[in-house]
Amino acid sequence: MAKKIFSHSRISAFEKCRLKYKFRYIDEIIPEVERTIESHLGSSVHKALEWLYSQIKQKKIPSVEEVIMVYSENWNEEYDDEITIVKKNFTKEDYFNKGVGFLINYYTENHPFNDNTIEVEKEILINLDETGEYKLRGFIDRLAYNSQTGEYEIHDYKTSGTFPTDEEIENDRQLALYAIAIKEIYGKEKGVRLIWHYLSFRKKIHSERTNEQLEKLRENTLKIAKDINSTTSFPPTKSSLCHWCEYKKICPAWGNNFEKQTKLGGFVKLDKKENGDKLDIFK
Ligand code: SF4
């Protein structure tokens, strides 16, 4: 029986725009440059925090200057001039400095980092159905165990400039799915707390899910995964999100097409056999 492995981003792409889903996961078209400045900032900050906690796990607390140095190195190594800046009133330097501010604030507010981090960038795999035919893979930014409350904590860093509503937090699927995985590992009776760090706002949001809510979520996610497998219809969904969509240049909803764009360069079709893993590069 062939296993079907999904990711949260794959499921979200299908829900937001089926055409975008088709470009990436069925036609296997990967833009050579597909990053926006926001995603570059997010990735550089995540890597700096990953490094910080990997040091803490080895009982070393780096200085804030060292954290900024790692951030700066990541930023420069992965920056290229084709990264898209959609908001024209901001420069590359503005975004870089934003990241510096996020890290300084985070460091100051969380020092000396004694919340018992167990793992960083922890990979998890959840069975969505009983037979294990449908699975979901993801990565937890940071997993901690709070020995005072006896709860596991799933930490997630957000660098976006949008603050979620209470409803969005209550319905957030990604961390709740990861909570299913943690309960599968450590026991269903264990408490799991979901914690988002909204770095732009210097705010931490906490939430929890009951076992019943998690079971319902697993069922709903399985249903979407089965829809993905069986659908043959992939219409575009035009929205403000299109401005950040890496496929806009080949999207017929915007009067473009793949053939015209490939002549100009910038898009590649993956070799399925060699590059299948790259299709799920987004968490
Ligand atoms: S540009 Fe918009 S409509 Fe077109 S694929 Fe992207 S998200 Fe969908």
Mean pLDDT along residues 74-81: 93
Identify which has the larger pLDDT, 3 or 43: 43
Which residue's CA lies nearest to atom 5 of ligand 1?
Answer: 20
58 near 117, Cβ under 8 Å?
A: no
The pTM (predicted TM-score) of the whole model is 0.86
Q: Give percent of the chain with pLDDT exceeding 90.
A: 79
Which residue's CA lies nearest to atom 4 of ligand 1?
Answer: 251
Mean pLDDT along residues 203-218: 97
**CA distances from residue 146 to 117, 149, 270, 276, 278 in whole angstroms, order as listed:** 9, 6, 43, 38, 35
Instruction: State the DSSP string of 144-212.
Output: EEETTTTEEEEEEEE--S-PPPHHHHHH--HHHHHHHHHHHHH-TTSEEEEEEEETTTTEEEEEE--HH
Identify which has the larger pLDDT, 179 or 85: 179
Residue 277: the pLDDT is 37
Q: Where are the beta strands (DSSP E) in the chain?
A: 4-7, 29-31, 117-127, 134-146, 151-158, 191-198, 203-208, 267-269
Residue 282: the pLDDT is 32
**How far does the centroid of ligand 1 lie from the alpha carbon of residue 31, in Å?**
14
**How far does the centroid of ligand 1 lie from the alpha carbon of residue 277, in Å?**
23
Tens of pLDDT, residues 15-48 = 999 999 999 999 988 776 557 899 999 999 999 9
Residue count of the chain, please give it.
Answer: 283
**How far does the centroid of ligand 1 lie from the alpha carbon of residue 241, in Å?**
8
Which atom, in ligand 1's list, is nearest to the CA of 247? 6
Does residue 248's CB lie within 6 angstroms of at least one atom of ligand 1?
A: yes
**How far does the centroid of ligand 1 lie from the alpha carbon of residue 243, in Å?**
8
Does residue 158's CB lie within 6 angstroms of at least one atom of ligand 1?
A: no
Q: Does the structure show a pLDDT above 80 at 262?
A: no
Which residue's CA lies nearest to atom 7 of ligand 1?
Answer: 242
246 near 40, Cβ under 8 Å?
A: no
Residue 278: the pLDDT is 35
Q: Does the structure show a pLDDT above 80 at 116?
A: yes
**How far does the centroid of ligand 1 lie from the alpha carbon of residue 160, in Å?**
20
**How far does the centroid of ligand 1 lie from the alpha carbon of residue 200, in Å?**
27
Does residue 20's CB lie within 6 angstroms of at least one atom of ligand 1?
A: yes
Cβ neighbours, 10 Å, residue 150: 9
Which atom, in ligand 1's list, is nearest to the CA of 20? 5
Assign a CATH topology to domain 1-32+115-283.
Lambda Exonuclease; Chain A (3.90.320)
**How far does the centroid of ligand 1 lie from the alpha carbon of residue 255, in Å?**
11
According to CATH, where is 3.90.320 located in the chain? 1-32+115-283
Does residue 138's CB lie within 6 angstroms of at least one atom of ligand 1?
A: no
Mean pLDDT along residues 165-177: 96
Residue 30: the pLDDT is 79
Does residue 17's CB lie within 6 angstroms of at least one atom of ligand 1?
A: yes
Mean pLDDT along residues 57-68: 97
Out of 15, 248, 258, mutate this one to test ligand 1's pocket (max ligand atoms within 8 Å of CB): namely 248
**How far does the centroid of ligand 1 lie from the alpha carbon of residue 140, in Å?**
28
